[in-house]
Structure 1
Amino acid sequence: MKTYLPQIERRILVRPNQTFGILNYDTDNAYPQRMLELVGQSPTAKDCWNKRAKFIAGNGFEETSFGKHIINSKGLTVTKLLKAIATDKALFRGFGIHVNYNANFKIASVNYVKFEDIRMGDTDSAETAEKFAIYNDWGRKTWKNIMRSKITFLDKYNPDETIIKQQVKAAGGWDNYKGQLFYFNPEVCDYPLIEADSVWEDFETEAGIKIFNNREVTTGFLPSTMLFMQSRREEADNSADNGKSNTPSQLEKDLGSFQGAKSAQKIIVIEYEDESAKPEFQPYAIQNNDKLFETTERSVEARIIKGFSVPRELINAEKSSGLSNGGEKKEAIREFNDNTAADRLELSEAMEELFSHYFVNINPKANWAITPIPATVADDAIGIKAGAAINQLLQSPIPAETKIATLIYAYGFKQAEAEAMCA
């Protein structure tokens, strides 16, 4: 008996692309580029990504002198490299680092490579197996077609002297040798999904809500209305266009300029010769989009936060109780530090692997650890000041109704809580 799950599909499809000698990153070979655009359009997703990147990079290396070393001719420091790969790790769960060697087979330069620019070489081809293709426009945003001549192939990272000799010989000497790529990929032989791939549809939903709100503002929150009027006499003026287009009448132009947030309080005057020529505006009922979108927005935001595994207190800190002394945020920071500890360890191990083969010893103490974000950033003074202000409010001689309203709207208490405090 055969079984199958008709409603579950693979998020990405990996197929060989013989034209470019790579494995496609999904059917359009642009999965990372699509996810970047979706995250960029979703405020909550962008905030969650930034929070993850911040906690993975932490406060930098414990050995600060190690982080200050410049590791290539462009002035890149170890700390800047850490922040760059932590940003990729936070979203794509992987990262890439390009290294090149000197004649002593030691790493002489280290460069950051954007994860979205990396594609694995076609394993069925001897020329591209164990290689990676680097190209900055797989999504075809700049050019309509991918230019094969601009794709750079790098060998897979392997610091073994014998392997490097073989690679240099195959490249035609040191002058033609392009180095290796250290490619961290949690899926090993497959492309990884982004951190919150299970909720990427919510990125698109939140972006749509943002666009809807913008349209509501630009149209002045006007209700949906149908305009009934006699056929335009101005149609005769458009005969030169052979009926392909119609020039807007003056009435249409006036109605268009009447809409929008900047057109509020304007008066439009419409003249008509007889009663039959009088335009009729007929509103039609639609759903209460305002409430509908508000509910959707809250649920979408919650799912995105859950998808990135970020504590809600670090995203919606303003919704915390007014009597909080910072304890909730401190606990959230400790929790998120624990959640991202494995990521920091993986970055530390990558740095140790690479810079242990560097041509000079830039970390004599061999301390590769990354400092977590300290929980002390949740300042207790904020909660103390809020508590003092509430106590002062409760002891003031103002009416109880005013106290209750202040507790509800200024400090976020519920009606029952505010009434109990003022009893």
Structure 2
Amino acid sequence: MRVKDLKKKSSNRVDVSYLRQFGIQGFGDDNLYPQTLRNIIAASPTGSECVERYTDFIEGNGFRNVMFAEYVINRKGDTVDDIHSLICSDIAYFNGISLHVNYNIFGEICELNYIPFENCRLLEEDSNGYVSKIAVHPDWSGKKTRAGKPIRVTKESIDFIDVFNPRKEVVLSQIEAAGGIECYKGQILWISGNGKGVYPRSRADCVVTEMSTDEGLANVKYRNTRCNFLMAGMIVTKKGSSSTNIDENGNVVDTGNEDSGFSDIIYQLQGDTNAGKLLEVILNNDEEKPEFVDLSSKNYDKEFTVTESSVTERIYSAFGQTQWYTIRIGKTGFSGNIIGEVFEVYNSIVSKQQRMIERAFQKIFNDWYEVVNPSNDYSVEPLKYVRNAAVSNNSGGGI
């Protein structure tokens, strides 16, 4: 069947719209795609595990050049290694990087800072298709507070910062236009794994449904455990007297004390600490013998086994971690040699993301105000499996 003949059309994974009030391109239909994606991943046990492993392998053992990795790059005391660790997480979650650079009066880069990728939005393209600025806000949902007050998303609370262009004539003209070096906001090196000037699509995007299902499966297990595999029962007995009285005029008066059988104490029968308790329901004017009503419910956990297995496998596959999954389910043996081979395979999978990092740092430090890395080696050392606990941490890793 041809693509155009399919009745069910797939929607865009990342909606982009123009937010006129801010002059920016919305990231998702509500401009909160990265925030929503992070929450979905955090709620999925399998998704969180895969992203964490993905992050670890992208980061590897840091930059091979240790002196460069330990170089302090801003007034807060952050080192190159600190910034590297932060952007590896952004690549794993969102497939993007955002780094802020400041310049001195000579138009040379003198400071580097990390900006969370989820805080950045692209300005609308101009007539030439060029995005000139990056819009930065601490929290696009408007829920973050400072000094007890929420930081609302307004044009005044958004920083519009020039995109990265280290050419001296460009930087000096921007400094002059800003009113001097003290008013200049610097530039942002914004990189998308899906191309220049477009919002990236996360590796997790194709399995957001599976990750949401994974969260639901965890809720089912919670329900079965906390709300009783062994449900409580109910004993129905008779009551010797009526709940009504006769007043002095011979009229029937309802005392209002009739027991409906389901009082506030029913909550005491719920939960793992109350499993197996009994509920007594007293009936009025019933001559039958006491009756036990079983409230046990069916344990649905086994019926979710197939779904859980397929969901977990798809999430692992989306992150290129199929070999890790086969080890997890026991399909592949567990030994030092096997794990070492898996490390090598996964290091090759994340090499593209590591090269993205190398190119980003090389662009910045080629225009740094002093020579920081004479070797010009910005490569990241791959993560290695530690076969001996006594091996130095500089050559180690873990699973």
CA deviation map 1:94-126 (0-9, x unaligned): 110000100111111100011111100012489
Relative distance call for 1:285 and 1:46 in structure 2 (3 A) is: closer
The answer to whether the Cα contact below 8 Å between 1:329 and 1:378 also exists between their aligned partners in 2 is no
Correspondence for 2:17 among 15, 18, 21: 15
Identity %: 28
Correspondences of 1:21-420 after superposition (within 5 Å): 21-124=23-126, 129-142=131-144, 143=150, 146-187=153-194, 188-222=196-230, 251-275=262-286, 281=293, 289-313=300-324, 317-320=327-330, 324-374=334-384, 376-378=385-387
Which letter does structure 2 place at the counterpart of 1:215? R
1:91: how far off? 2.0
1:339: how far off? 0.8
Relative distance call for 1:284 and 1:261 in structure 2 (3 A) is: closer
Deviates more, 1:217-226 or 1:92-101: 217-226
Name the structure 1 match of 2:395: none
SS at match of 1:167: helix
The answer to whether the Cα contact below 8 Å between 2:232 and 2:279 also exists between their aligned partners in 1 is no
Structure ranking higher in strand proportion: 2
Supply the distance in 2 between the matched residues of 1:133 and 1:237 (Cα, whole angstroms): 68
Relative distance call for 1:324 and 1:290 in structure 2 (3 A) is: closer
CA deviation map 1:63-101 (0-9, x unaligned): 111101111111111011111111111121111000010
Relative distance call for 1:369 and 1:322 in structure 2 (3 A) is: closer
The answer to whether the Cα contact below 8 Å between 2:102 and 2:185 also exists between their aligned partners in 1 is yes
1:280: how far off? 7.5
CA deviation map 1:323-347 (0-9, x unaligned): 6432221111110011111211221
The answer to whether the Cα contact below 8 Å between 1:21 and 1:125 also exists between their aligned partners in 2 is no
Supply the distance in 1 between the matched residues of 2:322 and 2:100 (Cα, whole angstroms): 34
Name the structure 2 match of 1:397: none
Supply the distance in 2 between the matched residues of 1:121 and 1:341 (Cα, whole angstroms): 30
CA RMSD of aligned residues (A): 3.4
Deviates more, 1:102-111 or 1:275-284: 275-284
Which letter does structure 2 place at the counterpart of 1:199? V
Q: What is the TM-score of this pair, normalised by structure 1?
A: 0.77
Relative distance call for 1:75 and 1:276 in structure 2 (3 A) is: farther
Which stretches in structure 2 are left out of the alignment for 5+ residues?
145-149, 245-253, 391-399
Name the structure 2 match of 1:406: none
